[in-house]
Amino acid sequence: MRLLNVFILLSVPYVLLGCSTGKTEFFTFQPSNARSGSYGKTDLSRDWNNPKWENGITQGLVSIVEVNDPNRSRALKVLFPKGSYSNSSIPGKIQWVLDFAKGLNEVYFAYDIKFDSNFNFVKGGKLHGLAGGKRNTGGKKPDGLDGWSSRVIWLSQGKLGQYVYNPDQPTNYGQIFKYTANGEDIVAKQGKWYRIINRVVMNTPRKHDGIVQAWVNGELVLDIRDLRFRDTDAMSIDSFLFSTFFGGDDETWAAAKDESIYFDNFLISTSPLAHP
């Protein structure tokens, strides 16, 4: 297993991840600019362009908290109650959708993430990512015309990866692509901040030339260039799916105790994003 070092934001040059140098960020969310306390519907509407629905906000599972860190003053905290998982009766899904103003063929996103210091990863869970159309998840296999999604995931022992819903997945559930470097799994340590960047490029309709790339703390950990997301150019990248929970759809995936993950520095762009 490869344990990535915590990143530190210092006054050093930025490395641009990708091949373009244009800066076209069209969404940012910095929790350090928000007030501390419970994160409610008014906050969600203001910061995320008035999502049509949400899970977890009404249940009080999201808050802005002060953090003791030289690189940030606050972070967005999500709480997963003990026993919660994807389909549990205990509320434990934190989800909403940021709809884009128009469909796009290439998008980058980035966010910082920290698993709490005593976080039990159990068997794994879902994290945020890009999507299009009906944003297929939850065992709804895409057909090339309805939708797709590409989210970050955590696996047992803190391994990280990508969870991609595409028409060529072998089962009804999305394909898992582990994050690796030099042949070793990328493993997140509890209590440490990581910067995750994703790039998704739509395929030419009916061809296998779609791209998903991922970087963790500036290191390329995933580079897939033969995906088929769509069979029509009416399909695109049209949303960011804020989606995190334990599971898995049975209690073997459930949070073993109350757990928390912290997020910061959300950016979405049509051109490469910088990593310090």
Asked whether 24 and 270 are in contact (CB, 8 A), the reply is yes
Structural domain tally of the chain? 1
Instruction: Report the pLDDT value the prediction gives residue 2, as an integer from 0 to 100.
Output: 58
CA 234 to each of CA 144, 160, 230: distance values in angstroms, whole numbers, following the listed order: 11, 31, 9
Range of the domain at 55: 2-275
Look at residue 270 in the predicted model and tell me its pLDDT.
97
pLDDT at residue 6 greater than cutoff 60: no
DSSP for 174-223?
Answer: PEEEE-EETTEEEEPPTT-EEEEEEEEEPPPTTSS-EEEEEEETTEEEEE
Is the pLDDT at 18 greater than 60, yes or no? Answer: no
Give the model's pLDDT for residue 3.
Answer: 56
* pLDDT tier, 130 (very low <50, low <70, confident <90, very high otherwise): very high
For the cut 90, the answer to whether the pLDDT of residue 226 exceeds it is yes
pLDDT greater than 80 at residue 111? yes
Q: Please check the confidence at residue 7 and state whether its pLDDT lies above 70.
A: no
Position 165 scores a pLDDT of 99
Predicted model pTM: 0.91
CATH for 120: 2.60.120.200
Length of the chain: 276
Mean local confidence (pLDDT), 134-144: 98
Among 24-28, 164-168, 182-186, the range scoring the smallest mean pLDDT is 24-28
Q: What is the pLDDT of residue 189?
A: 98
The amino acid sitting at 274 is A
